């Protein structure tokens, strides 16, 4: 099992990087799960938001 943390400033490209990383890892036979800090709570899979984009890229939620 491998853990990877992606951190950075707001609007620095973290989600775009993750969207590209997920399919590359899955292509190599890896199962990918993403965890996102969500301090306000609420709905997670809103179209266009980070968690939705992770799932669209192939991550399990």
What pairs with residue 33 in β-bridges? Answer: 60
pTM of the full structure: 0.80
- For residues 40-60, give the mean pLDDT: 87
- Angle at CA of residue 38, ends 56 and 35, nearest 5°: 50
pLDDT of residue 20: 97
Share of the chain above pLDDT 90, in %: 64
């Amino acid at each position: 099992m491998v853990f990877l943390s992606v951190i950075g400033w707001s609007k620095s490209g973290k989600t775009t990087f993750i969207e590209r990383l997920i399919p590359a890892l899955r292509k190599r036979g890896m199962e990918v799960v993403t965890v996102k800090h969500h301090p306000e709570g609420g709905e997670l899979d809103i179209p266009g938001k980070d968690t939705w984009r992770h799932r669209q890229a192939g991550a399990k939620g």
